[in-house]
Amino acid sequence: MILKLLLIIGVIGIVYFMFIKKKPSKVTKTSRKKKDELKANDMVECATCGVYSELQECILSDAKYYCSKECLDKAS
């Protein structure tokens, strides 16, 4: 009788831990990179004048964003 009870409790425990209990989400390097990636409509600051503009309108040079050709020339 006790053996049957222990077996039932064991099966319920296994089902609980395998299917019902949620595992904690682990933050990996790839998920952090996805959060840090910029989208086309994100606003970035110009390295020269400090004006914010959309990423798709900016000029990227030497890992810095510039709002216009003039700001890029001033930085060079």
pLDDT in tens, 36-66: 676 767 888 999 999 999 888 889 888 899 9
Q: Is the model's pTM score more than 0.75?
A: no
DSSP per residue, 23-73: PPPPP-HHHHHHHHPPPTT-EEE-TTT--EEEGGGSEEETTEEESSHHHHH
- Is residue 31 over pLDDT 80? no
